[in-house]
Amino acid sequence: MRSPPSELTPERLRDALTAGWRLRAAALEYVPAGAGSHHWKLTGEDGRAHFVTVDDLDEKNWLGDSRDAVFTGLGHALGTAAALRHEAGLEFVVAAVASLSGDLVRRLDARYTISVFPFLAGRSYPFGSFPDASLREQALDMVAALHQCPLPPDAAVPGHVPGFGGRDDLEAFLSDPVRPWKDGPFGAVVHELMAARAADLALLLAAFDRLVEATARARARTVITHGEPHPGNLMSSGGRLLLVDWDTTALAPPERDIAVIVAADGTGLDQYQERTGRALDSAVLTVYRARWYLDDIASAVRMFRHPHRDTADARLWRDSVAPRLEQLAAWLDRLGA
């Protein structure tokens, strides 16, 4: 996220960090990174650095259908990551730091939560495709180790349903595609782009649902998955490759993670299958790749169909809509729509 919500003042964060973790900030600097959370670098009075994450419970609907349910789900996800690192010994897992009361995530208020992570010095990678074969191979090795890890005792790992965020908004738009979007500076231009492709989007959504239903048996074999092991969630630090952002962890078929890592031409599939002895299902891979595409489309609908402001994040989303819609024909073909 490129800018913090105006209501998240430094004073509020300092008070929450002192009360929850006894961290006293000498400096608190906003870090414009990532796409789903707000981040700050905290430098304590003792000179130690920490990475502070604030999550918006209204923006994590894959974890639940209410703010309280999302908060509970977020706690389970971060708890699973902590168990994977501290109990199962997966050292590539970057887990949250427990508060004084043992919590990994705390409420700031009804809408926002706060958590603390180690601050890691090193190299991060941009979101998108893997820049080289070596990074892909290392990511596959990490994910293979994760998928072979037994479920930690007492870990509350949710089961993953291959849906996508913002589906309600996408369906509402498709039911009345001519209704204008007037509650923000970019609503009209994005609506024009979406409305021109509404019929094709409806076909794609129906084809996705058919494929999800057709792959139900193949998806019944589940492992612990990260959910988003793309380069943007990888970091090289201290001579090791690490995997961050575990709020999407869930029990799911291994294809959920592999769909993010393996190249479109299948590069990497053999490595994973040899490492784990698991054969992967091409139709299930397509489900999870299509889920990512629909999530991007629906997220844009959700953002611009409702009141929004002219921010750096909103401009990035506005500019991404046309290129994503250009991919629609290819997705219709892949799903046999």
On the question of pLDDT at 2 being above 70, the answer is no
For the stretch 306-333, pLDDT in tens is 999 998 889 999 999 999 999 999 999 9
On the question of pLDDT at 286 being above 60, the answer is yes
What's the Rg (C-alpha) of the chain? Answer: 20
Give the per-residue pLDDT at 1. 55
307, amino acid identity: P
CATH architecture of 1-119: 2-Layer Sandwich (3.30)
Give the per-residue pLDDT at 263. 83
For the stretch 127-185, pLDDT in tens is 888 988 999 999 999 999 999 999 888 778 888 889 888 899 999 999 999 999 999 99
On the question of pLDDT at 29 being above 70, the answer is yes
Residue range(s) occupied by CATH 3.30.200.20 in the chain: 1-119
95, amino acid identity: A
CATH of 127-337, one of 3.30.565.10, 2.40.340.10, 3.20.20.80, 3.90.1200.10: 3.90.1200.10
Give the per-residue pLDDT at 7. 85
Closest C-alpha to 215, from 316, 286, 312, 292: 286
Does an H or E element contain 53, and which? Answer: strand 49-56
Residue range(s) occupied by CATH 3.90.1200.10 in the chain: 127-337
DSSP 225-290: E-S--SGGGEEEETTEEEE---TT-EEE-THHHHHHHS-TT-TTHHHHHHHH-PPPPHHHHHHHHH
324, burial (CB in 10 Å: exposed 0-12, middle 13-18, buried 19+): middle
What average pLDDT does range 31-35 have in this prediction?
A: 76
Altogether, the residues listed in the chain come to a count of: 337
Give the per-residue pLDDT at 195. 98
Give the per-residue pLDDT at 266. 84
When pLDDT is cut at 50, 70 and 90, the band that residue 49 belongs to is: very high
On the question of pLDDT at 34 being above 70, the answer is no
Closest C-alpha to 109, from 9, 28, 39: 9
Structure tokens at 297: 């489309």
pLDDT above 70 as % of the chain? 99
Give the per-residue pLDDT at 36. 75
State the Cα–Cα distance between residues 278 and 205, nearest whole angstrom. 29
| Close Cβ partners of 306 (under 8 Å, ≥ 6 residues apart) | 169, 183, 184
Give the per-residue pLDDT at 33. 76
Question: Order of strands across the sheet with 234-237?
Answer: 123-124, 234-237, 240-243
**Mean pLDDT, the chain, as a whole number?**
93
For the stretch 230-250, pLDDT in tens is 999 999 998 999 999 999 999
Give the per-residue pLDDT at 321. 98
When pLDDT is cut at 50, 70 and 90, the band that residue 207 belongs to is: very high
Closest C-alpha to 40, from 25, 20, 62, 61: 25
For the stretch 54-109, pLDDT in tens is 999 988 888 888 999 999 999 999 999 999 999 999 999 999 999 999 999 999 99
262-277 as b/e: b if 16+ CB within 10 A: beeeeebbebbeeebe
Closest C-alpha to 27, from 105, 100, 114, 119: 119
| Close Cβ partners of 188 (under 8 Å, ≥ 6 residues apart) | 180, 181, 182
Structure tokens at 207: 């084809």
